[in-house]
Structure 1
Amino acid sequence: MEKKSFTFDEIKLKLVNYCVYQDRCHAEVEQKMREFMLIDEAKDEIILYLLKENYLNEERFTRSYIRGKFYIKHWGKNKIKINLKQKQISEKLINKCFDEIDESDYEKTLKKIFEDYYSKQTDLKEYQRKSKTIKYLMGKGFEYEKINDIFD
């Protein structure tokens, strides 16, 4: 199948729509641009345009990503951070944006996930139940120290 070719303005519009549909990070936009086999100058021009017009905003992306992954998917901070780093978001920006998560919401969510999971582990010895629960919560990205506080 032959690849349809687009004009520069059509590609630019496609990327605007890509960013409008949901917040994107630079890495996602660059990945999307690879589909269009653009020369570097064209890529740079589109990126600059998206930034200037505020279609592409790394901090806004990071904040909405953190809110979604915590409040909807109930991920802990470690998992959120790892996934944002894979999207080439700097640690400094990630840490700055973690204020999107209310600390008491974080504790409540951790407690609730803990209680739901722990209460289902019935046929185990106490230490197995505990270690299985810790492993589960760490897999969801919660910090070991915070998990341990629940057991105390």
Structure 2
Amino acid sequence: MSLSEKENLGQLDGAKPDAPLVWEKITAYCAYQDRCIMEVRGKLEDLGVEGDTITSLVEKLVEQGFVDEKRFVEAFVRGRFLIKKWGRVRIRQELKLRGISEDLVREGISWIEPDQYIEVLNSLADRKWQATKESDTFLKKGKVQRFLLFRGFEYDLVRESLDRITTQF
């Protein structure tokens, strides 16, 4: 935490942060975009809040609707799939890293329409194939495959997409 943040929270003398100010900052943090509980806990720790106080603040935030993991998962999946064009594997990994339960992860992933998923995968594969300057088809396939796997698409689907491309070109 920077010196100015400590000044703002009244912590220069090592005292505990000012509760109303912490509440104001954490509600603004949660209102800005959907957050998961792990992110909120991390922010509270950054603000100098400790132990049981973190737990009680998180519970209060959940009760008042500032934090809703189901809403977070839905927004996360939508954003990562529609905007960043991530596959299900990568989205699942990122949600698990954020401490989201397997049930919520499964529910969030199920939001992705299979037809739209294949369409996005094929679109990315086509675009990457066109952009890759490699002349050797085998090496070119490898580059595109690595790109799509890194994006989080399943190996079987990537292979099908690459087979489709190589029969076209």
- TM-score normalised by structure 1 residue count: 0.92
Match of 2:106 in 1: 95
Determine which of 104, 110, 120 is the counterpart of 2:115: 104
Instruction: State whether residues 92 and 109 of structure 2, in contact with CA within 8 Å, keep that contact through their aligned partners in structure 1.
Output: no
Once the two structures are TM-superposed, the CA of residue 122 in structure 1 deviates from its matched residue by 4.3
Deviations 1:6-57 (A, max 9, x none): 4212211211111110000111001100122223232122111101011111
- TM-score normalised by structure 2 residue count: 0.83
Counting only pairs closer than 5 Å after superposition, residues 3-152 of structure 1 correspond to structure 2 as: 3-4=6-7, 5=10, 6-150=17-161, 151-152=163-164
Instruction: State whether residues 36 and 68 of structure 2, in contact with CA within 8 Å, keep that contact through their aligned partners in structure 1.
Output: yes
Determine helix, strand or coil for the equivalent of 2:59: helix
Identical-pair percentage: 26
CA distance in 2, matches of 1:17, 1:34: 16
- Of the structure 1 ranges 30-39 and 50-59, higher mean CA displacement relative to structure 2 is found in 30-39
Structure of larger gyration radius? 2
Structure with larger RCO (C-alpha < 8 A, sep 6+)? 1
What are structure 1's unaligned runs of at least 5 residues? none
Instruction: State whether residues 38 and 99 of structure 2, in contact with CA within 8 Å, keep that contact through their aligned partners in structure 1.
Output: yes
CA distance in 1, matches of 2:146, 2:57: 44
Residue type at the aligned position of 1:51: V
The count of aligned residue pairs is 152
CA distance in 1, matches of 2:28, 2:145: 42
Deviations 1:82-113 (A, max 9, x none): 11111111222111111222221111110000
CA distance in 1, matches of 2:143, 2:50: 51
